[in-house]
A and B are shown apart, each in its own frame.
Chain A
Amino acid sequence: MAKELVSHGWRCLMLEAGEWLDRTSYPTDEIDGNGRLYWGGGIELNHDASIGLLRPKVVGGGSIVNQALMDRFDSEAFHSWHQATGIDDFSLETFLPFYERVEKELHLEETPASAWNRNAHIFQAGFAANDFKCKPLRRAQKDCAWDQGNDCIECLNGCRRDSKQSMPVTVLKRALGLGLKLIPTFEADLIEEKHDEVWVSGNFTDGRRETFRSRHIVLAAGAMGNTRLLLQSGYGDKIPELGKGFYSHPQLMTFGRYEEVVDSFRGPFQTLKSDDPNFRKAGFKLENVFAPPVGLAMLCPYTGGRHQAWMESLRNLACIEVAIRDVSPGKIRLTKSGKLFIEKSLGQQDHIRMRAGVVAIRKIYEKTGAKEVWIGDTAIGLHLMGGCAIGANPKTSVVGPDFKLHGFPRIRVSDSSIFPNAPGINPSLTIMAMSLRAAGLWVKEEEGRIAGTQ
């Protein structure tokens, strides 16, 4: 969004709560990684502590800590959005040019089979043996040089060789070159509309309080960040739908122990995904993945000596995650003391989807000779979506088709918070495509306004 606006000569200021790090300063261990790159010291929890929510806090956001998986939505996802929002533009045809433009900004590639680790081969063999369909993930990456011993799992704390096509080395870098101003470590907590301006107030990490004034603002602090800021600023009274419709693609990590060494953490550790129409219909997807030791320990089903014995088998573990397209909406609200409170549970349909995914995973492990199988019991939400749902009807949504907050034309929202439901597909690429579209509509509107006054 910012890059598109500054490329049209607009003056833009980006405010970011997290630090501005780069490949020379990204954390190198899990304590610093979790503490510096995420809200809540690494993890936040839903209302009953049954779902862990991972919310990045760093310049570049999720693109720093994710695996840069770049999928287009399918026609089914757009169809469900069209139905939920009443907005005709939600179609694959409308979004195609935006996808193409975003894809040109990044370097996208599939990991060649020659670079797959043993976990990927197990994943593929298990799919083949069960007649399931899978395909390589498309990732924004280049020159990972796995043959030189590079392990992508290190880049979960930010890629120290700039191979991962994170925002700071791609679009954001170009935007800064075009004149975008960026202020990090500033946490906004209040939005006020004053005459023909919007004031954004907050605190820097060192405690300094500051207010920034602008003609317009665009909120892009994610589902929880945007909703919190708007609720704190009193918009909940004016927009009853604010905070409703929170989704997170809850996922479970599963492990199979094999006699031979698997070393799931080596090289490109996330390379394949399910591509099976039956899985899509059943509302889940599978990917091969792994976690560093601290994350792994948190997923371990045991305690004490048994826990450590399980951790000792780390090199022999294959890992598959199941992520569901959750259909039970959660709600984001604030407590009386102003803390975020996330009401989100897996509903009956969600449990059915998760169970179906686990059944498929068990078959994969079984056919590939796993000696033992563990299914995690803590769901993790990585794709935080909704809370500011887009829609044509102000009574059932928060943001209009023009990406403006209903009734507040100086405030736009453009990120995953406007998702009207869970697409069941990695959202990064579509968030970027949608932002391009939002920027395009805005530029067009502004040009029309100027033309009208001349």
Chain B
Amino acid sequence: MPALNKWQLRGVTKLGNVLCPGTAKLPSFSSSKALANADRCYGYLTAEDQAGLGTLLYWLGIFPGGVARLLIKLVDTANRWPKFIAPLLRLLQIGLKGFIYSLYYSDAEIRKALGYVTSVQGVARQ
């Protein structure tokens, strides 16, 4: 399975803290166990998406956290931009948020904190 390097993981954490800064009820991204899922989630991306996201995360890992904040502010304005740039910003918005939210909201403790506790009586797992 492809793994993110330490700079890319730092990028994930910085981005995660922008998108999930924490509340009284929910921990911040870096205070949760969400990062542990990063390689697993990254492994499911297509090779092309891995290359694009990996590069972006690397640079976010190197730059100060404010850059991740600016990037998210920018992509959140996607619909206000002209048609030649808006799709790229929307793509980034969906890609970055999708990656971070997948890590954070798949975490069992976060789901429990939200009160999202579901079950199904199935059979023994393989």
Contacts and interface: CB of A to CB of B under 8 A. Distances in A.
Interface string A125-156: 00000000000000000000100111111110
A35 B121 CA distance: 23
Given A25-B126, A31-B106, A49 B44 contact: no
Interface in A8-37: 23-25, 28-32, 34-36
B98 A48 contact: no
Contacts of A315: 114-116
A293 interface: yes
Interface residues of A, number: 54
A355 B93 CA distance: 24
B75 to A, nearest CB: 9
Contact of A294 (B20, B76, B106): B106
Contact of A297 (B101, B115, B120, B122): B101
B44 A35 contact: yes
B121 A48 contact: no
Given A308-B20, A308-B22, A30 B91 contact: no
A350 B70 CA distance: 34
B86 A48 contact: yes
B90 A49 contact: yes
Interface stretch (B4-12, B35-43, B59-67): B35-43
> Which of A32, A35, A298, A311 has most B Cβ within 10 Å?
A311
Interface string B94-126: 100110011111100011001110111111111
Contact of A308 (B21, B41, B48, B102): B21
B79 interface: yes
A362 B91 CA distance: 29
A45 B101 contact: no
> Which of A25, A31, A32, A309 has most B Cβ within 10 Å?
A31
B22 to A, nearest CB: 7
B106 A298 contact: no
Nearest to A52: B94
Contacts of B41: 31, 35
Contacts of A148: 121
A161 interface: yes
Given A31-B44, A311-B114, A298 B98 contact: yes
Given A150-B121, A308-B26, A312-B23, A45 B91 contact: yes
B87 interface: yes
Interface in A23-68: 23-25, 28-32, 34-36, 40-43, 45, 47-50, 52
B56 interface: no
A314 B116 contact: yes
Interface in B38-86: 40-41, 43-46, 48-49, 72, 76, 79, 83, 86
A311 B26 contact: yes
B4 to A, nearest CB: 14
Contacts of B43: 35
B102 A294 contact: yes
Contacts of A339: 48
Nearest to B69: A304
A265 B117 CA distance: 9
A109 interface: no
A159 B122 CA distance: 8
Contact of B101 (A36, A48, A152, A298): A298
A292 interface: yes
B52 to A, nearest CB: 12
Contact of A154 (B20, B40, B98, B120): B120
A307 interface: yes
A23 B45 contact: no
A291 B49 CA distance: 24
Given A31-B37, A148-B121, A303-B72, A293 B105 contact: yes
Contacts of A23: 122-123
Contacts of A159: 120, 122
Nearest to A267: B118
Q: Which A-B residue pairs are the 9 nearest by beta carbons?
A: A35-B44, A160-B122, A49-B90, A293-B105, A151-B118, A297-B101, A154-B120, A48-B87, A49-B91
Interface of A: 23-25, 28-32, 34-36, 40-43, 45, 47-50, 52, 145, 148-155, 159-161, 265-266, 292-294, 296-298, 303-305, 307-309, 311-312, 314-315, 339, 377-378
15 contacts: A30-B106, A31-B103, A36-B44, A48-B87, A49-B87, A49-B90, A50-B87, A152-B120, A293-B114, A298-B97, A303-B18, A305-B21, A308-B26, A315-B114, A377-B79
Given A45-B90, A150-B121, 4 more contacts: A23-B122, A294-B105, A308-B20, A308-B22
Interface of B: 18-23, 25-26, 37, 40-41, 43-46, 48-49, 72, 76, 79, 83, 86-88, 90-91, 94, 97-98, 101-106, 110-111, 114-116, 118-126
